[in-house]
Structure 1
Amino acid sequence: MMTNILLFLNKGFETMEFSPFVDICGRARTDYSVDIHVTTAGFTKNVTSSFGVEVKVDRVMADVDVNNYDALAVPGGFAEFGFYEEAYSEPFLQLLRDFDASGKPIASVCVGALPLGKSGVLSGRRGTTYHLRDGYRQKELAAFGVNVVNEPVVVDGNVITSYCPQTAATAGFELLAKVTSPETAATVKAAMGY
């Protein structure tokens, strides 16, 4: 049975936080015959990253049905490039709530945790987000009622949060472990030199 990961790209997403999910799942599928697929989505068919890389996504928000996916991955992004305009929009916050209500794994990288906080998904739960620059983003996350843990990757139930671009691959491996097995994730991780 195929596992389908929804990789949602809000405007201004960070490319380094997007690509590990594609690479990790692609390696699992291509080299280890894991029946896993990544579907990219955004509010528009073409989504521009923080640094001007345009990605043509598979689905637009209007066509996304949570029932068609087994997990969600959310890269962070930059305010300067409009990330929060879409990440804090009610349709995206509701998508997060719907994935969580279904008990499906959600992985976020860096400030990808902030919409999880704003949506209420992380209220009273453990999580992390961008930790540098005096932890100002962690303070924002805490204001949403999140028990902020200053660690690279924090897993609380079905939700994986991580604290900076460097942690994107680790979040990807954690997500792969949740949707396949820890052994599969360890095999792919070793094959990728981690």
Structure 2
Amino acid sequence: MAKKIMMLLADGFEAVEASVFTDVLGWNQMEGAGGTELVTVGLREKLRCTWNFTVLPEYTLDQVTLSEFDVLVIPGGFYEAGFYEDAYSVAFLDVIRYFYAQDKLIATICVAALALGKSGILQGKQATTYNGEGSVRQAQLQAFGAEVLPDPIIRDGNIITSHNPSTGFDVAFLVLEELTGRANTNHVKTLMGFKK
């Protein structure tokens, strides 16, 4: 039975941080071991990305059953594009709390870690978020009770957080490895040109 991954999209998300999951898991389905199904979910029927184009998620949150999913992935986005309006909403945070309570894998890129912090699940946990020069995001994550570390990717139990868009592929490959194993992940990496 395929492992189902929910990609939860907030309005104002950064498209490149979502596309790493669609590409890595898509390559796995076409050329790798298969056995994974990525489903895009939003709080609304049409979402606006940070860089001025729209995306139609496959489902809205009210159309899915959380218990059917094995993994939650969340790309980050920009304050200026309204990312936190969805990412800090009760409905969005409740999804995070559900996956955490079920001890399921949760992976975020960049400032999506702040939604985890806002949900309360990072209290006393090691994590990271956007680390750009002059950024206040790491201080905000620390204020949510996380122990913020300087590494580009942090895994604490079933929670993966990362610095910025450059970490996206690595986070997606970590998710793939968790679901299908290292040998298959290396195979997909090679096909995609990440390994020679």
- TM-score using structure 1 length: 0.97
Q: How far is the alpha carbon of 1:134 from its aligned partner? A: 3.2
CA distance in 2, matches of 1:183, 1:101: 30
Give per-residue Cα distances to partners, 1:1-55, cap 9 Å, x unaligned: 1111101110000001000000000001100241211100101111110111211
Contact 1:20 1:172 in 2 (8 A): yes
SS in 2 for 1:107: strand
1:117-132 equivalences under 5 Å are 117-132=117-132
Residue number in structure 2 paired with 1:46? 46
Residue number in structure 1 paired with 2:107? 107
Residue number in structure 1 paired with 2:29? 29
Q: How far is the alpha carbon of 1:68 from its aligned partner? A: 1.0
CA distance in 2, matches of 1:43, 1:37: 20
Calculate percent identity across the aligned residue pairs. 38
CA distance in 1, matches of 2:163, 2:131: 6
Residue number in structure 1 paired with 2:180? 180
RMSD: 1.0
Residue number in structure 2 paired with 1:96? 96
Q: How far is the alpha carbon of 1:135 from its aligned partner? A: 4.2
SS in 1 for 2:133: helix
SS in 1 for 2:161: strand
Contact 2:33 2:180 in 1 (8 A): no
Amino acid at match of 1:187: H
Gap regions ≥5 residues in structure 2: none
CA distance in 2, matches of 1:178, 1:113: 19
Contact 1:160 1:175 in 2 (8 A): no
Contact 1:128 1:151 in 2 (8 A): yes
**84-93 vs 29-38, which moves further:** 29-38
Residue number in structure 2 paired with 1:72? 72
Alignment length (residue pairs): 194
Gap regions ≥5 residues in structure 1: none
Amino acid at match of 1:120: G
CA distance in 2, matches of 1:191, 1:118: 38
SS in 2 for 1:150: coil
